[in-house]
Amino acid sequence: NMQSIFAKNGSETPEPVKAEVTGSVPSWLQGTLLRNGPGLFSVGSCEYNHWFDGMSLIHSFTFRNGEMTYRSKFLKSHTYNRNIKADKIVVSEFGTMIYPDPCTNIFSRAFTHLRNIISNFTDNNLINIIRYGQDYYATSEINYMNQIDPGTLETIGRINYRDHITLNLATAHPHYDNEGNTYNMGTTIMGFGRPKYVLFKVPADTSDKKQKKPALRKVQQVCSIPCRSTLFPSYFHSFGMTDNYIVFVEQSFKLDIVRLATAYFRGLTWGKCLIFDKDDNTLFHIINKKTGKAISTRFYGDALVVFHHINAYEDDDHVVFDLISYKNSNLYDMFYIHNMKQETSNFIESNKSFSPPRCQRFVLPLNIHKESPRGTNLVTLTDTTAQAVMQEDGSVYCQPDTLLEGLELPGINHNFNTKKYRYFYGSRLEWSPFPNKIAKFDIVTRKHIEWEQENCYPSEPVFVASPGAVDEDDGLILSSVISTDPNISPFMLVLNAKTMEEVSRASIPASVHIDLHGLFIPATD
């Protein structure tokens, strides 16, 4: 069945293998696409419960002179090494709680404080590849990252955010500006005072080739935002950025701190410590990234769950930001392995209640005055139906404009990040959480075009701009594709981003596993 290809153990291809190219890869495409995702779902006779528990498998697709080579290696994290050595799962993950042997003294563990439980988090960084300075890291959302060599995929070593900045969690979706600085956000749970969200920046020129000092040593805190609830900080997976502002969505999908602190004794996994409060609202924070000061207007909207932002920009005294939202948090439940292993028809039937992803545009007017008229829509942009209505108490209630339903894993032309833009790309999720098409959406015409092939499952599309491109969609889309058809080997698909037509494909004579996110690193020579 189809689900089995997602939750079966992947394997390494440690030496580069050459792909067989059909069509022609443009000679200007030179560089490496690094990708990350869960690739090992059992160790010995122990199995993980959740797809986001699988141990990280790093892939690289290297383009050079019209050819492509592929290689993959498991991230050699502390977690991986400990599990492999024990030949069983010994480190707890998001959906799998592991208890020590009964002969160890459970009481000595029972009185460990929350901070010890958190600092014993796994370092299985399976979500993305990110860059700080010139250092590349496999990351998830915990305080550990593992540095990797983008050429060989070797794991260089583990780094702890907490050695440089007080963070317990950090996103795996930072923003890069034109100078090469990296902006990211995290949450401080165990610090001084109440929990807070922290925005930080790592300057571009931090790398130190000779002495191997980490780029993070130059980290700068931009600002912090107090959590609205001490015991329930919002969960967040990404954030928005414009030229001048950071957009942070404080959603009603939250981390229950007390539950997290007692999860171990109550037999709960960390995944069960995420709570969606459908009756709460969503707060939208806009922070000036130069001064670190938040705009004082209280912008809020209805409850939603968001993982991925698409893009954000400023337009005529408004902040416009596009994100992908869900009506509830059922998405996580679908990825429990026992749910994924159902026959396709049962899977569709049992996920009828799945709230589909909605690409939505929110617009927050910045020029709000104390005397702005109550009860009227303050958005004056003409290209959107998004509303921002001033309430009696001076707060502003925001309702989005829905652009498209059924698209996830969004990508844009990165040269338009933080700028007014027209197109985004993504994986179409129509009847299940398994993407079976790639789509390009045009925000101006509100139409989309798609690429698809029967029995094929593409990964998140990555846009690479043509050299000297003027048009926003002048470039290529890269996506690795796996198939349930045994006659179709895995391939890297190269599409013309203007037409979404195939330019070439590179068939890979090795096993390739479905992944989550990645980063294209242009060749420097």
Beta-strand ranges (E) seen in 65-195 are 67-74, 128-132, 135-139, 144-148, 155-160, 169-170, 175-176, 182-188
C-alpha span between 312 and 320 (Å, rounded): 6
- Whether 256 and 231 have beta carbons less than 8 Å apart is answered as yes
* 308 annotated to bind ligand: yes
| Contacts (Cβ under 8 Å, ≥6 apart) of 293 | 223, 287
C-alpha span between 477 and 412 (Å, rounded): 10
| Contacts (Cβ under 8 Å, ≥6 apart) of 428 | 406, 407, 435, 436, 437, 438, 439, 450, 452
**14-to-59, 182, 219, 429 alpha-carbon distances in Å:** 10, 30, 33, 32
C-alpha span between 382 and 363 (Å, rounded): 11
For residue 344, give the H/E element and its range: helix 344-350
* 113 annotated to bind ligand: no
Spatial CA neighbour of 129 closest among 41, 57, 195, 194: 57
Angle CA 472–473–478, to nearest 5:
130
DSSP 50: B
* 448 annotated to bind ligand: no
C-alpha span between 396 and 264 (Å, rounded): 41
C-alpha span between 86 and 486 (Å, rounded): 34
Spatial CA neighbour of 304 closest among 262, 362, 259: 362
**Residues annotated as binding site for Fe cation?**
173, 237, 308, 517
Query: Residue ranges for the binding site?
Result: 173, 237, 308, 517
